[in-house]
Homo-oligomer: A and B are copies of this chain.
Amino acid sequence: MAKPTLAVVGATGAVGTVMCELLSARKNVWGEIRLLASARSAGRKVRCRGEELTVQELTAEAFDGVDVAMFDVPDEVSAQWGPAAVARGAVVVDNSGAFRLDRDVPLVVPEINPEQVRNRPRGIIANANCTTLAMIVAVAPLHREYGLRELVLASYQAVSGAGQIGVDTLYDQLSKIAGDRVLGSRPGNVRQAVGDDLGPFPAPMALNVVPWAGSLADGGWSTEELKLRNESRKILGLPDLKVSATCVRVPVVTAHSVAVHAVFGAEVDAEGAREALRNAPGVILVDDPAAGEFPMPIDAVGTDPSWVGRIRRSVDDPRALDFFVTGDNLRKGAALNTAQIAELLAAEFSSR
């Protein structure tokens, strides 16, 4: 039985680059791999799975013979080309926001709801938002144990969540403020030193935190905050889950963190929660404050699991847990989860 053909759309972006690394490192389940990108990137050579592949231009014909197409592109590109790929016979795994809340598109996290992969009337499966993904692999086992009712979330999001330009912007700003040791101590000085080039952010990122991610939605909410609510409900199958989130960008390169306050139907205890997480897939438990061990971006970056720690039962609520989770937003937050979904599909082909 020939292995299925895989297309990676957006192969030269921040997430696409991680995707090629993953394809090189993970157990190989694919036959031909095709790398697709904009005309601007076509012709570029990219190393993938031990081969040097030439990036092809994204066209409808490029999907001929493709069994699975992973999309790592902006919403509007997925919206246009996802259905085109389906029309040519591919199953699409989309990492953008274009289809996530569509009733006929499952939102899959393989550790949580892998069976939803088969529920794809449109031929499209969606990958969740990066912040949702970092957090949900730790929340799901606790839901299974105690019955989740409510989440109150505050995020600490890395700049690579805004793409390579976000990373370049932070590094540029850090070099502008380097060497000046009084900048952070007076209003206006960081803004002056950073100047007008804010990159994809509404304010300077160096020596700052910016309580904004995504675009403005109703009621003053950001789209990022509403994604945390709507996607968590869908992934966990909890349409009435109460969720409040405040999303904040911080001067970290890669790995999003979330401070989680989770309220359950049953009484909880910290040691029981640790045990559930110790045994949970896709999660590493790092929880020994006395030894200085907590989940942090500089340790989680470049690794596959979400790191969870600081697990405490709320002092005033025996049904609530407080904890901290961090995960590489380009890996589990994007490329890895997408690759894992694609591998579920590849297994379908093998079983035919």
Contacts and interface: CB of A to CB of B under 8 A. Distances in A.
A295 B160 CA distance: 22
A148 to B, nearest CB: 13
A34 B246 CA distance: 45
A257 B312 contact: no
B174 A303 contact: no
A264 interface: no
Total copies of this chain within the assembly? 2
A252 interface: yes
Contacts of A315: 219, 221, 226, 229, 243-244
A185 B254 contact: yes
Q: Which 6 A-B pairs have the closest CB atoms?
A: A184-B253, A154-B154, A154-B259, A242-B316, A202-B292, A246-B259
A173 to B, nearest CB: 11
Interface stretch (A72-80, A96-104, A204-212): A204-212
Interface string A294-324: 1111111111000001111111110010111
A156 B250 contact: yes
B270 A220 contact: yes
Interface string A191-235: 100000000001110011111100010011110001001000000
A111 to B, nearest CB: 21
Contact of A301 (B160, B186, B252, B292): B186
A181 B184 CA distance: 22
26 contacts: A152-B261, A156-B209, A171-B181, A184-B298, A185-B301, A185-B302, A187-B301, A189-B298, A202-B292, A208-B252, A208-B297, A209-B250, A209-B252, A209-B296, A210-B294, A211-B310, A212-B289, A220-B311, A226-B315, A242-B314, A242-B316, A242-B317, A243-B316, A246-B261, A246-B322, A259-B259
Interface residues of A, number: 82
Contacts of A299: 187-188, 191
A50 interface: no
Contacts of A208: 252, 296-298
A203 B299 CA distance: 10
Majority SS at the chain A contact face:
mixed
A105 interface: no
Question: Considering residues A209, A254, A317, which has the most beta carbons from chain B within 10 angstroms of its beta carbon?
Answer: A209
Contacts of A250: 156, 209, 250-251
